[in-house]
Amino acid sequence: MWRGGWGPFTRWMDAICSGMTVPADIDLPLLAVFDAIHRERSVTGAARRVGLSQPATSAALARLRRRLADPLFVRTPAGMVPTPRADEIAPAVREVLDTVRMRILARPITDPAASAGTLRLSIVDASALRFLPRIVAHLQRIAPRWTVETVPLQPAEVPRALETGDVDLAVGNLGALTAPGFYRQRLESTRYLVIRRADHPRLRRAPTLRDYLESRHAIARAPGAPPSVLERALAARGHVRDVVLQVPQFLLLPAVVAGTDLIATVPAHVAQAFAGPASIAASPLPFKAPELVLHQGWHARTHDDPLGRWIRATVRAALRVPD
DNA sequence: TTATTGTTGGATCCGAGGAT
DNA sequence: ATCCTCGGATCCAACAATAA
């Protein structure tokens, strides 16, 4: 968000508008307040977002209401709910603000690798285990002043975080990121393996389909996540697992499996990372299932942005994925 | 100088939720 | 049902900074 005052920007806008027939009453700060309230559903939240005090934000909303002759947002138990008029103009407002941010205010990036920056990455445990070491190592080599922050978002939160810019990029199982305005690129795929404790009393060899279905399972599933390709493959065959434990992260499963008679189905890289040290045995799935495809995903907002392009190319290079 | 927009500090209103 | 508390929105006053 814009911080540190609007004075210089107002002057630029006036300079731009003075030579045109466009009336110089475009009030960009008001549009930023509108967009913030529309996103946050709260005047207080919007105030934090745009860096104004809460009364000032409320006053800005009052000015917007006068100018547009519409209440724009009404107070309800669910927050400040936009009126139809507010919903109607919101996409256009966002487009204007994005254009200003990306094409006017953004500093031209001549060499991102030589500058400092922070890569904010939505990535969860198993994908982080797989990709993060290589991404960080590659950044250390080519852009040593860059830092990485990972944000473990629930699948349903990822699109909004990409859209608002709270994260730059999402990496992992992005099967649900198919809405218009989002892009995905395949990074790699991985098969699933079944893990059990190495001294499992019943399963001394790789489990058969019957073993698999008769065993009790620990599974990883984020709250609100759509069924994985594995779950869909099981459902398509009419197989039902006896699930004793559901956790949100794959990385918890090896420890659970090592200490119980439960079995778990995990991406191969998770199984391989824990196979030796934790006395875990890994075997192929006893039925056919598609591989888990891992993507990097981003919002249209950054599709043509030079920095966005550089970030995605950097991730590709780190993982040796061709363009 | 004036108008605008911002600040802080304080007050009020309103609805939700918990306690009685 | 009533009361109380809390959070959030709104309004007001006084003042500061800035552009026209």
Whether A2 maps to a domain, the answer reads no
> Which one of A105, A139, A166 terminates a domain?
A105
Residue A76 has a pLDDT of: 67
pLDDT per position as a tens digit, A175-208: 878 888 899 999 999 999 999 998 888 998 889 9
The spacing between the Cα labelled CA in A60 and the C1' in C16, in angstroms, equals 19
CATH number, domain with residue A64:
1.10.10.10
Collapsing DSSP to helix, strand or coil, A166 comes out as coil
Quick one: which residue's CA is nearest to B6's C1'? A56
**Residues A100 and A153 both lie in one domain:** no
Average pLDDT of span A35-49: 78
Residue A16 has a pLDDT of: 35
The spacing between the Cα labelled CA in A42 and the C1' in B17, in angstroms, equals 20
Whether A136 maps to a domain, the answer reads yes
Whether A141 maps to a domain, the answer reads yes
Nucleotide nearest to A59 (CA to C1'): C10
Q: Using 50, 70 and 90 to split pLDDT, how confident is the model at A154?
A: confident
**Residues A204 and A223 both lie in one domain:** yes
CATH number, domain with residue A305:
3.40.190.10
> Which one of A105, A121, A153 terminates a domain?
A105
Collapsing DSSP to helix, strand or coil, A138 comes out as helix
Nucleotide nearest to A54 (CA to C1'): C9
List the end-to-end C-alpha distance of chain A, in Å, as a whole number.
32
**Residues A151 and A23 both lie in one domain:** no
pLDDT per position as a tens digit, A213-262: 999 999 998 877 788 889 999 999 999 999 999 998 899 999 999 999 99
Domain that holds residue A17: 7-105
**Residues A148 and A185 both lie in one domain:** yes
Nucleotide nearest to A42 (CA to C1'): C8
Whether A223 maps to a domain, the answer reads yes
Whether A42 maps to a domain, the answer reads yes
**Residues A214 and A255 both lie in one domain:** yes
**Residues A140 and A203 both lie in one domain:** no
Q: Residue A241: name the closest of A270, A207, A217, A267 by CA.
A: A217
Q: Residue A203: name the closest of A273, A287, A280, A288 by CA.
A: A280
Chain C bases closer than 7 angstroms to a protein Cβ = 8-13, 18-20
**Residues A15 and A84 both lie in one domain:** yes
The spacing between the Cα labelled CA in A59 and the C1' in C3, in angstroms, equals 33
**Residues A184 and A124 both lie in one domain:** yes
**Residues A215 and A78 both lie in one domain:** no
Q: In what order do the strands lie in the sheet with A263-267?
A: A242-247, A216-220, A263-267, A192-197, A280-284
pLDDT per position as a tens digit, A135-149: 999 999 999 999 999
Structurally, chain A folds into a number of domains equal to: 3
The spacing between the Cα labelled CA in A10 and the C1' in B2, in angstroms, equals 19
Chain B bases closer than 7 angstroms to a protein Cβ = 5-10, 15-16
The spacing between the Cα labelled CA in A149 and the C1' in B2, in angstroms, equals 49
pLDDT per position as a tens digit, A249-285: 899 999 999 999 999 999 999 998 887 655 899 999 9
Angle at alpha carbon of residue A37, lines to A32 and A39, rounded to 5°:
95
pLDDT per position as a tens digit, A118-136: 899 999 888 999 999 999 9
Whether A1 maps to a domain, the answer reads no
Give the residue carrying structure tokens 């290589």: A134
**Residues A82 and A157 both lie in one domain:** no
Residue A14 has a pLDDT of: 38
> Which one of A45, A77, A105 terminates a domain?
A105
Distance between CA atoms of residues A240 and A28, nearest Å: 56
**Residues A286 and A310 both lie in one domain:** no
**Residues A169 and A298 both lie in one domain:** yes
